[in-house]
Chain A
């Protein structure tokens, strides 16, 4: 049998952040054909692109489950960019080490995280592009206030809009609905106050 650290066993017996997030900003499903292991990971990303919440499910050995659990603890509250910088070595260290033969089991958690962050970024960029394109070639029915507006930044669920002119709430709602139609997701437009 494998010699596992107490901390690894604790994360295996009491895994943190198990489950899924409804309406997640980033979702991934990864598998290791090598081992037959599989994992899902959901991310909730806040407006400043910090990881607000993360949930996972794993089919795998004790090391795979503990690594996924440890990773969720390590990345919670982190900027998404920083979360991607976490190395497998750090996961192993966080768990008080693991047998070298088991290193590959921790890879899946990182893959799931990378893939979920990529999913968030894809949605975010898609929304931002759709919003910019909409304002660049405005349809006939666009509210007048939006004609002079510009997109400042985006999140997977919303875009920020800035304008010299006043942006009435119904106009932002119109934009949100139109973008929801274009992306197929429920998204909203927000006034950029900065």
Chain B
């Protein structure tokens, strides 16, 4: 039996999503750009999906562009916006972004612009004073994630976006972990100009995502080609993926009120269980505003890969921020930015739940976890 608690890595495609996609992997194979009515039928499904994604984030359908996923959306948003400025323009982003954003900042020199990273405090919250100081440098674009993939910490992007606008900058947010888990209202959050969505984080398949581009925002095309997506993102429509993302958005938008609190209850159950049953454990950013599905725990004195291995042997899937792979084990940049030392961050495990997670699964994971941590502590030189 598998207990899947790694939903921030990817989620199970919802059964309804799979069902919705199937015709487009079969009879409905036509090219959505084709003139004939066979093509038009597929195009209608694509446009329905666009409307559904737009509805989930309270945007206009024409502001939603389909991409291959979160990484492409981030790359297009940032590179596409920075390309509209001369060399030496400034990108402001945070130290805890997903690599899809952070690596662009690292490569900014060769891309012809400059970048500055806003630090976070020990709770994983953006340092607002440092943010204001960065804005004084008149950036062209600000990119601050909506919710962190490792800690679940939510940035107040509405306010951050307003501040960016006051400084004359465009504002992008990587909302890959947030969309479908917490409400996103782009009608209310008018400061957000660009927003990245990834399908497979919200029970759609891999290989599909979207970028919200607010009407009037000028973006360099990302893919040149056959003029799809109004010439901004060419490439034959991935109709099965698009329809899947549309259905996933529809499902997320129609979740009952109690879905959020149910997830929060399960997460709390897991956190309390960890703290009570695994001595020497701590929850990262526990006091901060976080996604309801995400928790990162530190099990002091126990190395994370060993913990993951023991969990895996009992069918529990979780993840760690670091990977001892090519000879150097880089501690998680997120935990490091929060001031957590490498010994503790090498003991961190992330559990991420989904709306399909059950209380029984959480309890089973806790049983396995308690045994694994106790066993590894007996081997550890630190306890």
Q: For the complex formed, measure the closest distance between the CB of B283 and the CB atoms of chain A, giving whole angstroms.
A: 21
1/0 per residue, CB under 8 A from B, across A69-102: the answer is 0000000000000000000000000000000011
Q: Does A39 contact B (CB under 8 A)?
A: yes
**B 299-340 contacts with A by CB, 8 A:** 301-303, 305-306, 309-310, 312-313, 324-329, 331
Could you say which residues of chain B place their CB within 8 Å of the CB of A13?
310, 313
Contacting pair A39 B381 (CB below 8 A): yes
- In whole angstroms, how far apart are the Cα atoms of A101 and B4 in the complex? 27
Question: Of the candidates B301, B312, B378, which one forms a contact with A59 in the assembled complex, judged by CB atoms under 8 Å apart?
Answer: B301
The answer to whether B346 and A12 have CB atoms under 8 Å apart is no
Q: Are the C-beta atoms of A62 and B381 separated by less than 8 Å?
A: no
Whether A57 is near chain B, meaning CB under 8 Å from some CB there, is yes
Residue B33 lies at the interface, judged by CB distance under 8 Å to chain A:
no
Given the contacts A62-B305, A62-B306, A35 and B380 also touching, CB distance less than 8 Å: no
Tell whether B356 is near chain A: CB-to-CB under 8 Å.
no
Q: Does A59 contact B303, Cβ atoms closer than 8 Å?
A: yes
A29-B381, A59-B382 given as contacts; is B306 within 8 A of A34 (CB)? no
Residues of chain B contacted by A36 (CB below 8 angstroms): 303, 329, 331, 342-343, 346
Instruction: Say yes or no for A109: interface residue by CB 8 A criterion.
Output: no
Nearest-neighbour CB distance to chain B for A55, whole angstroms, equals 11
Q: What is the bound-complex CA distance between A60 and B331, given in angstroms?
A: 13
Q: Is the CB of A35 within 8 A of B329?
A: yes
Chain A residue, CB-CB nearest to B341: A36
- 5 other A-B residue contacts (CB within 8 Å) besides A59-B382, A64-B303: A35-B324, A58-B380, A61-B303, A101-B326, A105-B324
Can you give 21 A-B contacts (C-beta < 8 A)? Answer: A1-B312, A12-B309, A35-B324, A36-B303, A36-B331, A36-B342, A36-B343, A36-B346, A39-B381, A40-B381, A57-B379, A57-B380, A58-B379, A60-B303, A60-B306, A61-B303, A61-B324, A62-B305, A62-B306, A101-B326, A102-B324
Which 10 A-B residue pairs are closest in the complex by CB-CB distance?
A: A57-B381, A61-B305, A40-B381, A35-B329, A36-B346, A62-B309, A36-B342, A59-B380, A60-B303, A61-B324
